[in-house]
Structure 1
Amino acid sequence: MLRITATATISLTVGAILATAGFLWADRAFPPPLPARLEASTEVLDRDGLLLRAFATPQGRWRLRTDLASVDPKLIEMLITYEDKRFRQHRGVDAFAILRAGWQLVSNGRIVSGGSTVSMQLARLMEPRDARSLGAKFRQIFRALQLERRLTKDEILTRYLTLAPYGGNLEGVRAAALAYFGKEPKRLSVSETALLVALPQLPERRRPDRNVEGARAARDRVLNRMVSAGLLSEREAARAAAEAIPERRLALPAYAPHLAETALRNAPSATAHRLTISRPVQSGLEAVALNAATRLGPKLSVAMVMADARTGEILGSVGSADFFSTGRAGWIDMTRIVRSPGSTLKPFIYGLAMEQGLVAQETLVEDRPSDFSGYRPRNFDMRYQGDVSVRQALQMSLNVPAITLLDAVGPARLAARFRRAGVMPQLPPGESPGLAIGLGGVGLSLRDLVQLYTGLADGGRAHLLRDGTELIEPSTASTDVLEPQAAWQIADILSGVKPPHGATQRGIAYKTGTSYGYRDAWSIGFDGRHVLGVWVGRADGGAVAGLAGYVAAAPILFEAFARSGLALQPMRRPPAGAIRARRADLPVTLARFAPGADGLTAAPNAPSEPPPQIIFPPAGAHIDLAEGTAAPLAMKLQGGRAPFRWLANGKAIAGLHRTRTATWQPDGAGYSTLTVVDAAGRAASVSIFVE
């Protein structure tokens, strides 16, 4: 008896050794198809990692990358309890489950329960079989043992949750959660979790969008199993069973389609693209654009760009109201198309004039028919206001005052400021900047305008826009498009523009514009942190009767600010020396702007002396005033006709000076502009930085 037992033991040992050796040989000879990374849908993500859009795999499947951290632990616990309760203990094959399944098959004459482990199911997903057979089952067992040698338990779960079928072309729990419930698998209810646990066994029979009753029965079986396992209470299961089954499949997220396509085109091999877009902002802007375009008409489209004025990062970009609309040519990204900006550039004309000390907010300027060497601008309503303040002229968007000031500061200087800010205005070939650019006679895109307006929102510093699709990481350096005092003055004026009809005042500074021939309507506004630009028109450039910025685009601007979900930020505080002076407090040289031949205030008698020039402090100088000192800053000039009027940041320094020296006591550190005006009305200015 002992000899038989010993013989049997030796035989079993030898058999085990031979079986192990055979498995190791087969394992080496026939390695499992185990790619380092599963093929999955390319994903475009927002700044916080939220899914903006996914692209199907080349085989047409929706398969989104999944990791255990992005799945509710309750789902993983329910999956293991329902499918493979000894998953953490076995090495790929659960002998007890196989014996139980075999006994039930013999006893009942049919399959009652399967003996497949999660590892075996993963093996089947990696090597799909055409039909059930003993050979296929042994192959699954072999592959499952191989997988357990190469992967951890968490890695096996991750791959299973990525590959599991959920009906149609849905693969993986993330795609299923988004398609059936419109949410990520981290946020599922108990009922939703139970349904997703049940679907992979018979995905086509249990698809909720095709067989609601089959899906409900499968879900309820999972819930009952969880009660038996002590994972759910009967009350929890009853509440979950009372929830409705989704009867239709939802489209996967498809936000920012133009940027998503650009990202894929610029980096086709990347598996994930991270944009600067914020999905909540993008969702709100897209809804506003679609609703507005529907109201405006079937051929009209709407484009929007919202950016962080302090960084240049684009938070929302709507290239068209409907990407798939042929009538609106929705596939064209209208945020990048060059069009005439209408009157939206006027704030920069006034800003330059304030920089040069030519005008203040309450300076009077004439709005009358004028002729600029054959160029005769007319106001939008064909009427004239006579004498108006600079503040009124900009708020009313009067054309003649704007061109009068542009003639004084020079259109070439305006274009140079745009180029300094990284915006390249487009002119007809061979033409130089002329006065017409002040009324939209130049080509710019919506992104260009938003980039320029970041300078108004951020104290004169314009930031290069970026959205995350760039092939080369752009510079984040800012560029001064206006001096801080001038930028604040313009923002202060624009914040006083009345909101469009039906909109409430939201603390937004904004400007509208309408291009020649009613082809483009613009509205662009900002608070203390964000800039939002809106374009309305036809993608083919066709004229639209009555299309105007204030009527068509401005209401969209205010609605989009409200729907963006971003809290409005207070406007920047005025920089040192920036004040809104009353007209009575203005020096005589700033009371009225009356251009002469050189664009400055004309004097009764033409002077013979050279114009004044400030020689100290020099332009751009950094002046270090010792802390606590009472000594004022000495200022010197040459040329000009006495007496002289000095101004600091647009505010007159007390007294008229008959000598070419004067003093000024700065009221704080920062940028300041010093201006001197002589008796002939000629002016000179320098910008300095007081430390």
Structure 2
Amino acid sequence: MNKIKLKRSILISLILIILISGGVWQLSRLPVPLFPDDYSTVVVDESGEYLRIFLNSKDQWIFPPVEEGIPKKLKVSVINFEDKRFFNHIGIDFLAVARAVVQDLKAWSKVSGASTITMQVARLTRAKERTISNKLIEIIQALKIENTYSKEEILRLYLTHAPYGGNIIGYKAASLRYFGKEPDQLTWGQASLLAVLPNSPGLITPTRGRERLKQKRDGLLDKLKARGIIDDMTCRLAKAEEIPNREVPFNLAAPHLTRSLKNKLNQDLIKTTINKKMQIQVNYLVKNYMEKMKQKGVNNSAVLIADTRTGQVKTYIGSNDYFDQQHSGKIDGVQIKRSSGSILKPFLYALAMDEGLIIPESKIEDIPVSYGAYSPYNANHRFKGVVTAREALINSLNAPAVSLLDDYGVTEFYNFLTEAGVSTLFRDAKGYGLPLILGGAEVKMWDMVALYRGLGNYGRFSGLHVLAKGKNGELKQLISKGSAYLTLNIIDDLKRPGLEYFWRDYSSKWRIAWKTGTSYGNRDAWAVGVSPEWTIAVWIGNFDGQENEEISGLNAAAPLFFSVFNALPKNYYQDFFAEPEGDLKKIKVSTKTGYRIRDKIINEGLGNLTDALVSKSAQPLIYSPYEKLIYTNRAGTYEVCSLCWDRDDLAKSLKLVYPPQVVAYLKERGNEVYTTLPHKQDCPSVSNGNPIEFIYPQQDSIISIPRGADGKYQKVNFKVAHTGKNSKLFWYLDQEYLGSTTGKHQKLLLPEHGKHTLHVVDNEGHHQEISFYIKINN
């Protein structure tokens, strides 16, 4: 019976031992993952320099673990302070446990815990009270950790997650926050201080209890000296080092970009293409420049710089002051939508070259034209009659650009913009219409840099990227290499602001193809340009859309643009774009108009020709719309044709025959123009066309009448062109005779509110009539 009871007791004991062991084993299960994935998001530049470090969800500074060697000084200091037999035990240091038991029994209190680094890793995985049962769990967990991880991995886990006072977790955050340096740059004194900090992080930090902290650090240094790890001089110098009394703040570079990347990407470490040195340098230039602009009521700016060859973004400045709450400094000016002003014009001219509509030397009309209710004007409200395409683009003339867009096609230009990467067009082409080329659409700086980079890459468009492993979009050849090159050479010649006006006189001159833009109402000022190395965009304005006369592309954005461009590194072996091989050819064009002349005229020896470059892949250049063969009698008193000429009294010449509106403006500027001669009166053919054209207004115009400074409504200057010399016109408004004009045909009128008809007739019976609408503004 006793044997049976004994066996039963043994069995019950074994069962209890198994149950208890199983319970302890279950309680000591390691969490998976060992530590929660809750680290600071770290954003770095192309070289690994910190741009911004974010707090984790618990408002702690804790760097994500990285596969890198632990600095020797820190490693030696931690092991000698915490666990000198770390590399020799299995997670439990039995000698340390025995010593701790003896010390605790002698003192009748807890003196030493005998925790190894591995046991401390176990404790860090989950907060536990200091009890015997929890100690047992830590021991078992330590055994499991030793069985799972290498010694180097365990040490890294400890150093990455150990508390270093306040909200600082991990050796890397501690090194940067207390000393402002990477862990591999620590001195022996600094490494020793970090080694002792986790021992009592809540009681001893560099900002309080500094004497006790110094005693512990110095004690460790003495231990290192006694063990022959450091010499006496090193020990004394390390002890002389000051204990830090404050935390070193992290630098903040590219705050708008880093915030955006953190919100978009679920990554602990985000590597970008930003060049931190360049970012800081350009940011300094922007801040200094905007201090002056703020005195003029202009408060916001943005700058974006990309590598032209790779599309990598190197500088990203969303605003001149991220912390300026009064002026909405946290708005990202690189990504917000603003009116484009004139910065889209170069692309239209390049596309028009590909279509064969123009070359840089082509003459295009510079006159006011009404397209229904839309009447574009040049910025200075002046017109020259005709200008070369080069001159029109350099001077950013509005009337020629709108006329060119009308010829090229709004839909075709709209399609190019969307295909090239402009992401902000939310209407269809018809919804934007002709104003699209003058700022009628809102664009992002990001897209504009991508657009100009595409022009700088000889018409190949592929976007930008800012992540180190990012890619540009699909490469698309949307403009021919030759037309892109010709356009770049035009906008390289724009007049620069201030002292930059004389840039060609300097030996250190650097070329860049660039363009300014100013939105309607002076709300947005742009300067965007591209060199073989850099593509740069500058925007100046107010985020709230406030108008200001100081906001203009040339006066506000361009000075900062060139300040930035001049500060960037340059390639001394390539100051500008090389001529593309195999995509340019020479053609013969008229020296007077820059268009092709028909072979018939050339064969008769009447055209003056010169060489011009065009893209080989462009459509054939159109024939001159202005140069015409004129047949007259020898005296040159009237024109004749095949139905009325006398071959014995016949003269033939090639003349520039411009439309009446163009003739009127050329005459105003004192230019000699061909004056149409009357046709031979007894000719049976139809008369040679109507010599009258309305300059302003045009058919179906809507004219708003403002009040002048004196409070009275201003009169409208009605203008009519006539190709005849000393012509006389008779004017009628709504069939009421207004009088006549001779030579120069203008009348100041103030019609009533509503629809009207204006009729003019010359003394030979030619006449023209238009309808328009007057809107009286109250």
1:574 Cα deviation from its structure 2 partner: 1.0
Q: 1:302 to 1:211 in 2, by over 3 A?
A: farther
User: Paired residue for 1:124?
Assistant: 123
1:197 Cα deviation from its structure 2 partner: 1.9
| Counterpart amino acid of residue 335 in structure 1 | V
Q: Is the 8 A contact 2:590 2:609 kept in 1?
A: no
Q: Is the 8 A contact 2:369 2:399 kept in 1?
A: yes
Q: 1:493 to 1:678 in 2, by over 3 A?
A: closer
1:477 Cα deviation from its structure 2 partner: 1.4
Q: Residue deviations 1:51-85, cap 9 Å, x none?
A: 54444333332222123516423322332233222
Q: 1:279 to 1:676 in 2, by over 3 A?
A: closer
Q: Residue deviations 1:543-586, cap 9 Å, x none?
A: 233112223223333444466778787433111367799xxxx8
5 Å-filtered alignment, 1:187-586, equals: 187-210=185-208, 213-252=211-250, 254-267=252-265, 270-297=267-294, 300-363=299-362, 375-382=374-381, 389-424=388-423, 426=425, 431-468=430-467, 476-501=473-498, 505-561=509-565, 570-576=575-581
Q: For 2:529 and 2:544, how far apart are their aligned partners in 1?
A: 25
1:542 Cα deviation from its structure 2 partner: 1.9
5 Å-filtered alignment, 1:660-679, equals: 672-673=617-618, 675=620, 678=623
Q: Is the 8 A contact 2:528 2:537 kept in 1?
A: yes
Q: 1:191 to 1:460 in 2, by over 3 A?
A: farther
User: Paired residue for 1:651?
Assistant: 613
1:484 Cα deviation from its structure 2 partner: 0.8
Q: For 1:338 and 1:459, how far apart are their aligned partners in 2?
A: 26
Q: 1:309 to 1:517 in 2, by over 3 A?
A: same
| Counterpart amino acid of residue 167 in structure 1 | G
User: Paired residue for 1:58?
Assistant: 57
Q: For 1:418 and 1:116, how far apart are their aligned partners in 2?
A: 67
Q: For 1:358 and 1:322, how far apart are their aligned partners in 2?
A: 46
User: Paired residue for 1:3?
Assistant: none
1:420 Cα deviation from its structure 2 partner: 2.3
Q: What is the TM-score of this pair, normalised by structure 2?
A: 0.66
Q: For 2:141 and 2:18, how far apart are their aligned partners in 1?
A: 16
| Counterpart amino acid of residue 228 in structure 1 | A
Q: For 1:360 and 1:114, how far apart are their aligned partners in 2?
A: 86
Q: Which moved more, 1:519-528 or 1:217-226?
A: 217-226
Q: 1:152 to 1:425 in 2, by over 3 A?
A: closer
User: Paired residue for 1:156?
Assistant: 154
Q: 1:27 to 1:133 in 2, by over 3 A?
A: closer
Instruction: Please give the secondary structure, in 2, of the residue aligned with 1:207.
Output: coil
Q: 1:543 to 1:234 in 2, by over 3 A?
A: farther
Q: For 2:286 and 2:358, how far apart are their aligned partners in 1?
A: 39
Q: Residue deviations 1:249-291, cap 9 Å, x none?
A: 23445544444444444455x5554555454454445554445
Q: For 2:585 and 2:200, how far apart are their aligned partners in 1?
A: 74
Instruction: Please give the secondary structure, in 2, of the residue aligned with 1:121.
Output: helix
User: Paired residue for 1:635?
Assistant: none
1:365 Cα deviation from its structure 2 partner: 5.5
| Counterpart amino acid of residue 514 in structure 1 | T
| Counterpart amino acid of residue 459 in structure 1 | Y
User: Paired residue for 2:737?
Assistant: none
| Counterpart amino acid of residue 540 in structure 1 | D
| Equivalent residue in structure 1 for 2:31, among 1, 13, 34 | 34
1:165 Cα deviation from its structure 2 partner: 0.6
Gaps of 5+ in 2: 1-13, 504-508, 628-778
Q: For 2:326 and 2:180, how far apart are their aligned partners in 1?
A: 29
Q: Which moved more, 1:200-209 or 1:483-492?
A: 200-209
Q: 1:317 to 1:161 in 2, by over 3 A?
A: same
Q: For 2:610 and 2:588, how far apart are their aligned partners in 1?
A: 12
Q: Is the 8 A contact 2:514 2:530 kept in 1?
A: yes
Instruction: Please give the secondary structure, in 2, of the residue aligned with 1:69.
Output: coil
Q: Which moved more, 1:441-450 or 1:421-430?
A: 421-430
Instruction: Please give the secondary structure, in 1, of the residue aligned with 2:205.
Output: coil
Q: Is the 8 A contact 2:41 2:269 kept in 1?
A: yes
| Counterpart amino acid of residue 199 in structure 1 | L
Q: For 1:426 and 1:167, how far apart are their aligned partners in 2?
A: 52
Q: 1:250 to 1:380 in 2, by over 3 A?
A: farther
User: Paired residue for 2:183?
Assistant: 185
Q: Which moved more, 1:412-421 or 1:153-162?
A: 412-421
Q: Is the 8 A contact 1:65 1:174 kept in 2?
A: no
Q: 1:77 to 1:229 in 2, by over 3 A?
A: same
1:303 Cα deviation from its structure 2 partner: 2.3
Instruction: Please give the secondary structure, in 2, of the residue aligned with 1:344.
Output: coil
Pair 1:85 & 2:47 matched = no
1:94 Cα deviation from its structure 2 partner: 2.0
1:500 Cα deviation from its structure 2 partner: 3.9
Q: Residue deviations 1:485-520, cap 9 Å, x none?
A: 111122223334455436675443322211111111
Q: For 2:591 and 2:204, how far apart are their aligned partners in 1?
A: 80
User: Paired residue for 1:630?
Assistant: none
Q: 1:125 to 1:425 in 2, by over 3 A?
A: closer
Q: For 1:54 and 1:562, how far apart are their aligned partners in 2?
A: 31
Higher relative contact order (CA 8 A, sep 6+): 1
Q: 1:428 to 1:126 in 2, by over 3 A?
A: closer
Q: 1:95 to 1:20 in 2, by over 3 A?
A: farther
Q: Is the 8 A contact 1:360 1:590 kept in 2?
A: no
Q: Is the 8 A contact 1:262 1:469 kept in 2?
A: no
1:305 Cα deviation from its structure 2 partner: 2.6
Q: 1:167 to 1:348 in 2, by over 3 A?
A: same
Q: For 2:395 and 2:34, how far apart are their aligned partners in 1?
A: 61
Q: For 2:621 and 2:165, how far apart are their aligned partners in 1?
A: 78
Q: Is the 8 A contact 1:647 1:675 kept in 2?
A: no
Q: For 2:43 and 2:166, how far apart are their aligned partners in 1?
A: 25
| Counterpart amino acid of residue 576 in structure 2 | M
Q: What is the TM-score of this pair, normalised by structure 1?
A: 0.74
Instruction: Please give the secondary structure, in 1, of the residue aligned with 2:68.
Output: helix
Q: Which moved more, 1:533-542 or 1:503-512?
A: 503-512
Q: Is the 8 A contact 1:642 1:679 kept in 2?
A: no
Instruction: Please give the secondary structure, in 2, of the residue aligned with 1:531.
Output: strand
Q: 1:385 to 1:78 in 2, by over 3 A?
A: farther
Q: For 2:16 and 2:100, how far apart are their aligned partners in 1?
A: 24
User: Paired residue for 1:589?
Assistant: 590
Q: For 1:545 and 1:306, how far apart are their aligned partners in 2?
A: 27
Q: For 2:548 and 2:258, how far apart are their aligned partners in 1?
A: 30
What percentage of residue pairs aligned between the two structures are identical?
Answer: 32
| Counterpart amino acid of residue 31 in structure 2 | L
Q: For 1:580 and 1:95, how far apart are their aligned partners in 2?
A: 88
| Counterpart amino acid of residue 493 in structure 1 | I
Larger Rg: 2
| Counterpart amino acid of residue 589 in structure 1 | S
Q: Is the 8 A contact 1:647 1:674 kept in 2?
A: no
Q: 1:44 to 1:63 in 2, by over 3 A?
A: closer
